[in-house]
């Protein structure tokens, strides 16, 4: 109960505790999936530890914490906890890893992100928060939070989750259970350190402003918690993909983090916590819209160039890459296979496609592999599916993978394997 009280009033506790716990669940889920499908670690891939959404809960947590610092939650004792928990609640489907890796893919970003959950989750969360606050209010001799206020905050927190999930290339099934389609915003990379910097900085500065005059011991504990969060974020940024462009951007990010710490020391800016948080949320919203417009512009230009070259694209992704807001990873599905490349707003020409297409091999064995019950979750999740096969004495091994995450059939997240016997099954 004491821990719940700290969660309810201290954004540092909210961010550090919930982010770390969800990170642990996501990481365990990833490791279990890779073990299930005999997939090696993706340490040598182009995105390294950025390739999977293992750190995505931090963005949701910071969004909820930032909203709690605005005037929306003023006067509501359970406002912070409601918004932060609500912002993470749809990811309750992470526990589907218990059923196995493929079942997890079949469940992830589905029912718990669809319209039924968007109606049910806020009511359940608001009721639980009201129950907890009524118990605390009776012992403290005060008035409990009102249910309509908690319901409004819970709705805001829960609904923010699929909106953020839609922005990246991983996608979300917004209409489950009525429609299994995936929707992709292709606007933000699933791990966006610039969003962390703006939202985390605003929550840190706003929380420090609200805590002015508190005891020195409380201040030290708060600083320690934020130190853990900052260390986690900095580790992800520093261990990200390395090249000349991202090295410069990585330095800029670290300087931004340093500037936020310095601003806290100097008591700057002299804005109210609500103004700080509101400004940060507006800035992130503007950034997300701009990124979506840039991706849309890039996709249109890529389609035009492919059509002019006589290889029109049937499906196309101009997806964001780690750290670099003005660069896009390109995957275009054509009649012959896939074209991969890069689109960079800072270079001329902006579009650079790999000279060779990635061909899609076809065979009866590959068809059997895609029909195997053990990979139906992966089949429904793969956006740009590809397969390859290897023969051996006892049959064939078919490697299935998704070009969004790997172009190597045996490396990293985004792949699965199916072992086929030499003799295919026959119908009775």
Instruction: For the chain, report the end-to-end CA distance as a whole number of angstroms.
Output: 61
- 372 plus 317 within the same structural domain: no
Reading the chain (428 residues) residue by residue, the pLDDT tens digits are: 444 555 555 555 555 555 555 455 554 444 444 444 443 333 334 454 455 444 478 899 999 999 999 999 888 999 999 999 999 999 998 888 777 778 888 888 999 999 999 999 999 999 999 999 999 888 888 888 999 999 999 999 999 999 999 999 999 999 999 999 999 999 999 889 999 999 999 998 887 777 665 555 566 777 777 888 788 888 888 877 666 678 889 999 999 999 998 998 888 788 888 999 999 999 999 999 999 999 999 999 999 999 999 889 989 999 999 899 999 999 999 988 999 999 999 999 999 999 888 888 888 899 999 999 989 999 999 999 999 888 887 888 899 989 998 877 755 578 888 888 866 555 55
- 243 plus 127 within the same structural domain: yes
- 344 plus 209 within the same structural domain: no
What pLDDT, on the 0 to 100 scale, is given for residue 384? 94
What pLDDT, on the 0 to 100 scale, is given for residue 39? 39
Q: Which of 286, 319, 335 is a domain's end point?
A: 286
The answer to whether 89 and 133 have CB atoms below 8 angstroms apart is no
Cα–Cα distance for residue pair 64/188, rounded to 1 Å: 18
- 240 plus 312 within the same structural domain: no
- 39 plus 86 within the same structural domain: yes
- 280 plus 334 within the same structural domain: no
- CB burial readout 21-42, b (16+ within 10 A) else e: ebbebbeebbeebbebbebeeb
Number of domains in the chain: 3
What pLDDT, on the 0 to 100 scale, is given for residue 19? 52
Residue 19 forms part of a structural domain: yes
What pLDDT, on the 0 to 100 scale, is given for residue 116? 97
- 7 plus 149 within the same structural domain: yes
What pLDDT, on the 0 to 100 scale, is given for residue 221? 75
The answer to whether 276 and 69 have CB atoms below 8 angstroms apart is yes
- 84 plus 139 within the same structural domain: yes
Residue 417 forms part of a structural domain: yes
- 164 plus 274 within the same structural domain: yes
Residue 345 forms part of a structural domain: yes
- 198 plus 53 within the same structural domain: yes
331 phi, psi to nearest 5 deg: -135, 120
Collect all residues with Cβ–Cβ distance below 8 Å to 427 and sequence separation of at least 6.
Answer: none
- 72 plus 58 within the same structural domain: yes
What pLDDT, on the 0 to 100 scale, is given for residue 102? 82
What pLDDT, on the 0 to 100 scale, is given for residue 243? 63
Residue 198 forms part of a structural domain: yes
Q: Which domain holds residue 387?
A: 361-421
Residue 428 forms part of a structural domain: no
- 50 plus 188 within the same structural domain: yes
Residue 427 forms part of a structural domain: no
Residue 252 forms part of a structural domain: yes
């Amino acid at each position: 109960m004491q821990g719940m009280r700290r969660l309810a009033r201290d954004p540092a506790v909210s961010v550090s505790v919930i982010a770390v716990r969800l990170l642990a669940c996501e990481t365990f889920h990833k490791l279990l999936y890779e073990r299930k499908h005999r997939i090696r670690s993706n340490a040598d891939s182009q995105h390294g530890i950025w390739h999977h959404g293992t750190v995505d809960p931090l963005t949701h947590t910071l969004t909820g914490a930032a909203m709690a610092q605005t005037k929306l939650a003023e006067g509501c004792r359970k406002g912070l906890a409601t918004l932060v928990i609500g912002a993470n609640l749809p990811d309750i489907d992470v526990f589907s890893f218990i059923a196995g890796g493929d079942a997890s893919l079949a469940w992830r970003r589905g029912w718990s992100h669809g319209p039924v959950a968007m109606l049910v989750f806020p009511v359940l969360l608001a009721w639980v928060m009201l129950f907890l606050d009524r118990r605390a209010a009776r012992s403290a001799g005060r008035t409990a939070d009102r249910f309509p206020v908690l319901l409004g905050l819970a709705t805001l927190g829960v609904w923010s989750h699929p909106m953020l999930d839609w922005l990246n290339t991983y996608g979300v099934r917004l209409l489950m259970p009525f429609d299994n389609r995936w929707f992709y915003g292709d606007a933000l990379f699933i791990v966006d350190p610039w969003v962390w910097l703006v939202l985390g900085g605003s929550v840190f500065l706003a929380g420090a402003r609200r805590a002015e005059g508190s005891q020195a011991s409380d201040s030290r504990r708060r600083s320690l918690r934020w130190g853990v969060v900052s260390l986690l974020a900095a580790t992800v940024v520093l261990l990200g993909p390395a090249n000349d462009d991202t090295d410069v951007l990585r330095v800029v990010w670290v300087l931004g983090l340093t500037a936020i710490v310095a601003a806290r020391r100097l008591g700057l800016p002299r804005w109210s916590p609500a103004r700080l948080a509101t400004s940060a949320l507006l800035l992130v919203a503007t950034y997300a819209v701009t990124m979506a417009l840039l991706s849309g512009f890039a996709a249109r230009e890529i389609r035009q160039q492919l059509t002019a070259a006589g290889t029109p694209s049937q499906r196309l992704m101009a997806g964001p890459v780690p750290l670099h807001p003005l660069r896009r990873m390109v995957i275009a599905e054509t009649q012959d296979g896939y074209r991969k490349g890069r689109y960079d707003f800072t270079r001329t020409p902006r579009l650079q496609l790999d000279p060779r297409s990635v061909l899609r091999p076809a065979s009866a064995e590959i068809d059997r592999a895609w029909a195997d019950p053990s990979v139906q979750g992966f089949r429904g999740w793969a956006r740009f599916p590809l397969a390859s096969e290897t023969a051996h004495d006892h049959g064939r091994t078919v490697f299935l993978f998704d070009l969004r995450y790997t172009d190597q059939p045996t490396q990293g997240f985004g792949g699965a394997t199916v072992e086929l016997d030499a003799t295919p099954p026959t119908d009775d």
